[in-house]
Structure formats: C-alpha cells, structure tokens
C-alpha cells in the first residue's frame, strides 16, 4: 500500500520491485484506490490505522495497491491544496520508516487535487490504448491494470485497465483476495465485482509456490481477524 500523488511516482515504484517472477504470466497487478471527499469521510470514519498497516505490509510483496492522491512527505499544502490526513488523530511524521514496530505505516496526507489529476492521467492512457472508458465517479473506486517488466523499464498494459466501485466494508476482503489470487495463480477466486487485469496461465516453480502459500496463510489470518 503506497502513496501515489502522480503517475511518475507509480512507475518509479514499479521499477524498484525486486520480485522475480513478477506474478502470473509475468503480470503484476497494479491497483489504485480512488475516492472523493465523501469517500474520504467514509474511510476516516470506518478504517482504523492498524488496518491500513496490515494492508501496507501485505500487498507490496506480490501486487501493488496505490492510494491515489496520497503522499507521505512535505507539508500539508505541498501540492497547493490542503492535504487531509488518512488517519486523523495520528501524528504526521515523514520519517515513519525509522519508527519501527510490526506495523509501521506512513501517516499519509490526501490531496484531492492530485487524486483528480492522477484519475485524468489514467483515463487518458486507457482511452489511448482502447480500454473501456473510465472516469472517477466516487465515492470509492478500485482501478486495476496489468504491468510487465521490459528490461529495466516497466510496460503498463493500459488496455487492460478495469474499474469497479468498492465499499469501505469490503476493502479488507478485496486486499486479501487480490493477494491470494496473485500468489496462487487463480483469478477465478476473485469475486466478480473486483476488476481483474492480466491472466493466470503460467505457474511458478513448485518450491517457490509453496513458500508463497505459507505467507498467504498468515495474510488470511491478518485480514480476517
């Protein structure tokens, strides 16, 4: 779970992902969680900081969940509008990585301006690639697209972009389902209301697969308890 103030930040993160292979058929799930101000109120009223921390420490190993418009550096007016805290009541500390703890997680700020800008960027890329039309409508939406490695670069398959509305109560299960599907190479376990890019045709070597399955068992415990 990572901040995504703009598309450049997303590409920068993907270039640094060390996991090999990236995922089923070489495709890595790149998902974005978008929300409007109403969605922001839903998130801050219903999602506790500990839940964000668990999601942060699970999604990044196998797929990516980017929080659109969020950033974890600079002042609360860094992007020109007022950045709103993702977890109100928690001290904003841009040196969060040094605080330690099992669930260290950055206190992110959300810029509605940057969220709307990123939505326009994704919409334009998808439109140029011939993907189904998408425009942010809120209050919360999941957007998913497939990405592959191309040498040292990242090739995002914008034509594979898909989106779906999501409720705050369904977020935990969605993160768990994406993680398990990505590791188990089985997109069929994903509910029909979640966006699914890419394919699950190839398999990892058995010894790698079993190591990942062990981790999934822990992730399922974290998300369902």
What's the average pLDDT block by block, 10 residues per block, for the chain (225 residues)?
A: 86 79 70 94 86 68 84 87 85 47 65 96 93 89 87 87 89 82 70 62 37 41 34
pLDDT for position 123 = 95
CB neighbour list of residue 116: distance below 8 Å, 6 or more residues apart: 69, 136
Distance CA 119, CA 163 (A): 12
* Helix or strand run (H / E) with residue 38: helix 37-46
* Angle in degrees, CA 103, 109, 113, rounded to 5: 145
Distance CA 109, CA 98 (A): 18
Determine the distance from the C-alpha atom of residue 15 to the mean position of all C-alpha atoms in its chain, rounded to a whole number.
Answer: 15
Output the CA–CA distances (angstroms, integers) from residue 191 to 42, 94, 153, 165, in the order listed: 22, 36, 31, 13
**Helices (H) and strands (E) in the chain — how many of each?**
6, 8
pLDDT for position 36 = 96
Distance CA 82, CA 170 (A): 28
HSE (CB half, 13 Å, CA atoms) of 151?
1
């Amino acid at each position: 779970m990572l901040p995504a103030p703009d598309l450049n930040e997303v590409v920068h993160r993907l270039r640094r992902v060390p996991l090999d292979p990236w995922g089923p058929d070489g495709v890595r799930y790149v998902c974005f969680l978008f929300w409007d101000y109403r969605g922001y109120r839903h998130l801050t009223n219903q999602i506790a900081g500990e839940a964000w921390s668990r999601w942060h420490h699970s999604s990044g190993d196998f797929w990516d969940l980017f929080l659109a418009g969020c950033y974890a550096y600079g002042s609360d007016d860094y992007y020109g509008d007022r950045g709103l805290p993702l977890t109100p009541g928690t001290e904003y500390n841009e040196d969060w990585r040094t605080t330690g703890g099992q669930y260290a997680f950055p206190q992110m700020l959300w810029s509605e301006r940057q969220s709307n800008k990123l939505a326009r960027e994704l919409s334009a890329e998808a439109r140029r690639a011939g993907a189904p039309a998408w425009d942010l409508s809120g209050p919360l939406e999941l957007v998913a697209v497939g990405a592959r490695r191309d040498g040292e670069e990242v090739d995002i398959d914008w034509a594979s972009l898909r989106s779906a509305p999501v409720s705050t109560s369904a977020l935990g299960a969605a993160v768990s389902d994406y993680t398990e599907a990505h590791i188990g190479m089985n997109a069929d376990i994903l509910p029909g209301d979640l966006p699914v890019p890419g394919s699950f045709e190839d398999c990892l070597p058995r010894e790698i697969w079993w190591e990942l399955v062990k981790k999934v068992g822990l992730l399922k415990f974290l998300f369902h308890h």
